[in-house]
Structure 1
Amino acid sequence: MVEAPFDTSYDFVLVERASLFISSGLVCRLTPLTASFGPSLPVQMRCSSQSLPEWRDGRHSPLRLLDKDLAGSRRNYIFGEEEEEKEEEEEEEEEEEEEEEEEEEEEEEEEEEEEEEEEEEEEEEEEEEPPPPPPPPSGYRTQGHEIEVNHQ
């Protein structure tokens, strides 16, 4: 295992508390997280074969920090302006998508309400119309308001 100091000057750090990541047969161990990121716990981190020389030389490799909170959700701590800008853009896109979905749902609800109102109006109109008069018994013909009796 290669020991590495925790330093916020890293571009990004991929870390998950009390979890092991093994990549290319190498596991790097970071020192415990500082209090600003929650309780100090030992953390394990994934290192690629490309980052090995940087760790051996003592240089910082680009890593992304993922802190798992007590509820189990993940928060990303990004260090580096480019990564922050990308994340902000992604968040804005997600918010726009959510707003569009909400608008679509509202439109669908309005359409459903309009359809229901139209159906109710049609039902009311049908109820208001008087039923057609029953057909005359056989042997009788109707013309206007007079009934003719067929004496055949």
Structure 2
Amino acid sequence: MIQFSWTPLARDVLKFNVDGSTRGAPRAAGMRGVLWTSSGRVMCLFSKHLGHRESNTAGIMVIHKATDIVATNPVFQGRKIIIGSDSKVVVSWVNNNSFESINNVKLIYDIRNNLTKLGNMEVIYNARATNSFADILAKRGSNMEGDLFVCGDL
């Protein structure tokens, strides 16, 4: 049985728990995300194999995917969205003016552009223990168990 923790959100807030996973550095990598409603219902779920990557690149790629899903889907427009990642480094790169990852410049600027354009989305750090469901999906992606993308009324 899968066990995970859930902290209720404020009404009308959605939260994406995202995680990037690698099996070494660089090794097989995966990403995953789960979008929750304030009542704990899952609205969107994704998992994807990323090939060989290092862990911070996988972390940037998963936040990029989450911001793209929100930015391109009209159902999320005007909604407060929190994106939670268990990587302090990646969250810092996304939210600050500087970063050390020259290989991820385009993705970081795309993320920042989406955050600015929408104005109702933020990226925060989540402790690993609160990101367990996303972690399970990421390991699925890094194990090359197939890609998964489902959004809608789950």
Same fold (TM over 0.5): no
Structure whose alpha-carbon radius of gyration is higher:
1
Higher relative contact order (CA 8 A, sep 6+): 2
What's the TM-score bracket when you normalise by the shorter of the two chains? under 0.3
**TM-score, L = length of structure 2:** 0.22
